């Protein structure tokens, strides 16, 4: 049995296959996911698991060099933005329109759906290297 913190088999598989500059997205329960993008659905019920719980779990195994957020998070969900910035203060943040983020999901290795019920709780993680 795995000793590390990511024990969901699909999530662990995707993280282990990530290469430099590959992307992995995590989002709220309402984010539309393109048909061609693998969806790892962790949602159980409203707010379980939360966006932040899943993000913390993924960050325990994935080397991230940049994160991408929707512009709209700044005004619609500033509490979530603050939580993200507090969790990963030293990682570059880029902001793009939410519509662009939805399009960019088509090139992500996977989208991890959480039970999060707060708007714009979506992130694209850009994989870094560990050397």
127 in a known ligand binding site:
no
Whether the CA torsion 60, 62, 63, 67 is positive or negative: it is negative
Q: Compute φ and ψ for 65, nearest 5 degrees.
A: -105, -15
12 in a known ligand binding site:
no
List the catalytic residue out of 20, 56, 74, 103.
20
106 in a known ligand binding site:
no
Active site residue 20: yes
119 in a known ligand binding site:
no
Cα 131 to Cα 20, 22, 107, 111, 128: the distances in Å are: 11, 16, 25, 26, 9
In 3D space, the residue among 64, 88, 65, 84 whose CA is nearest the CA of residue 73 turns out to be: 84
- Which residues sit in the known binding site for substrate? 28, 98, 120-122
Residues designated catalytic: 20
- Which residues sit in the known binding site? 28, 98, 120-122
């Amino acid at each position: 049995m795995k000793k590390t913190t990511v024990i969901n088999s699909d999530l662990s598989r995707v993280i282990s296959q990530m290469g430099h500059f590959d992307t992995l997205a995590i989002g709220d329960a309402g984010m539309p996911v393109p048909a061609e993008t693998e969806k790892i659905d962790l949602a159980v019920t409203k707010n379980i698991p939360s966006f932040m719980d899943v993000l913390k779990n993924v960050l325990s195994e994935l080397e991230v060099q940049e994160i991408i957020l929707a512009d709209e998070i700044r005004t619609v969900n500033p509490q979530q933005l603050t939580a993200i910035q507090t969790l990963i203060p030293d990682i570059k943040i880029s902001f793009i329109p939410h519509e662009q983020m939805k399009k960019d999901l088509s090139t992500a290795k996977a989208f991890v759906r959480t039970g999060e019920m707060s708007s714009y709780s979506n992130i694209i993680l850009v994989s870094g290297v560990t050397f």
